[in-house]
Amino acid sequence: MIRIALAALTFVLSHAGLAETLLVGSQDEFEDAVDNLKPGDTIMLANGAWRDFEILFTGFGTAEQPITLTAETRGEVFITGQSNLRMAGKYLVVSGLIFRDGHTPTNTVISFRRTRGDPAYHSRVTETVIDRFNNPERHETDFWVMMYGRHNRFDHNHLVGKSNAGVTMAVRLDGEESRENHHRIDHNYFGPRPILGANGGETLRIGTSHHSRTDSFTVVENNYFDRCNGELEVISNKSGGNTFRGNLFFESRGTLTLRHGNGTVVENNVFLGNRADHTGGIRVINADQVVRNNYMHGLTGHRFGGALVVMNGVPNSPLNRYDPVVNAVIENNSIIDSDHVELGAGSDEERSATPTDSVFGSNLIFNEDGRNIVAVHDDVGGIEFRGNATNNVDEPALTEGFVNASLELVAADNRLLYPADGQFADVGASRELKVLDPESTGVSWYPKAGSGMRFDTGETIFIGAGEDAIFDAAAGAGAGDVIMLAPGGYLLTKTIVVDRPLTIRAAPGTASIEFERTALFEIADGGSLKLSGLTISGRAAPDVAGNSAIRTHRYSMLGNYALVVEDSTIQDLNTNHSFNFLSVARHTFADRIEIANSVFRNITGHVLSLAQETDDLGLYNGEYVSMVGSTFQNIEGAVADIYRGGTDESTFGPHFELRASSLDSVGKGSRNKSAASIRLLGVQATDIFDNVVADSRPVRVIHTVGDPVTRLGDNRLERTPEPIVREFGGQ
Q: How far is the CB of 105 from a second copy (least distance, A)?
A: 5
Q: Any idea what the Cα angle at residue 319 is, between residues 215 and 324, rounded to 5°?
A: 85
List, as one string, the DSSP characters of 383-415: EEEESEEEE--SS-S--TTEEEE---EEE-TTS
Instruction: Round to whole Å and give the CA distance between 276 and 257.
Output: 19
Name the minimum Å distance from CB 646 to a second copy.
8
Q: How far apart are CA 233 and CA 249, in angstroms?
A: 12
67-71 vs 561-566, strand pairing mode: unpaired
Q: How far is the CB of 342 from a second copy (least distance, A)?
A: 28
| Closer CB to a second copy, 114 or 601, in the complex | 114
Nearer to a second copy, 282 or 524 (CB): 524
Report the residue number, 320 or 352, with the smaller CB distance to a second copy: 320
Tell me the three-class secondary structure of 170-209, residue by residue. EECCCCHHHCCCCCEEECCEECCECCCCCCCCCCEEECCH
Q: What are phi and psi of 439, to 5 degrees?
A: -70, -15
Give 454 or 671: the residue with its C-beta nearer to a second copy: 671
DSSP secondary structure string, 336-353? Answer: ES-S-EEEEET-SSSS-B
Binding residues (CB under 8 A) for a second copy: these are 105-107, 115, 137, 139-141, 165-166, 199-200, 208, 467, 493-495, 516-518, 542-546, 554-556, 578, 585-587, 614-618, 646, 671, 673
Please classify residue 118 by burial: count the beta carbons closer than 10 Å to its beta carbon, then call 0-12 exposed, 13-18 middle and 19+ buried.
middle
CA dihedral 445, 190, 204, 152 (to 10 degrees): 20
Question: Smallest gap, in angstroms, from Cβ of residue 107 to a second copy?
Answer: 6
Q: Which residue's CB is nearer to a second copy, number 157 or number 672? A: 672
Q: Closest separation between CB of residue 297 and a second copy, Å?
A: 35
For residue 289, give the nearest of 246, 334, 241, 247 by alpha carbon: 241
Give whichever of 594 and 616 is closer to a second copy, judged by the CB atom.
616
Which uninterrupted H or E stretch holds 34?
helix 27-35
Q: How far is residue 611's CA from residue 609's CA, in Å, rounded to a whole number?
A: 6
Nearest distance from C-beta of residue 676 to a second copy, angstroms: 16
3-state DSSP call for residue 440? helix
Query: Closer CB to a second copy, residue 357 or residue 648?
Result: 648
Residue among 208 and 242 whose Cβ is closer to a second copy: 208
> Minimum distance from CB of 542 to a second copy (Å)?
6
Beta-carbon neighbour count of residue 544 at 10 Å? 12
Closest distance of CB 320 from a second copy, Å: 11
Question: How near is the Cβ of 540 to a second copy at its closest, in Å?
Answer: 9
- Cα 140–Cα 146–Cα 148 angle in degrees, nearest 5: 145
Nearest C-alpha neighbor of 605 from the set 644, 631, 574, 646: 574
- Between 391 and 580, CB nearer to a second copy: 580
Instruction: Tell me whether residue 447 or residue 542 sits nearer to a second copy (CB atom).
Output: 542
Q: Which is nearer to a second copy, 47 or 576 (CB)?
A: 576
> Nearest 5 degrees, angle CA 31-CA 32-CA 34?
65
Least distance between a second copy and beta carbon 87 (Å): 16
CB of 15 to a second copy, least distance (A): 38
Determine the Cα angle at 71 with ends 69 and 76, to 5°. 155
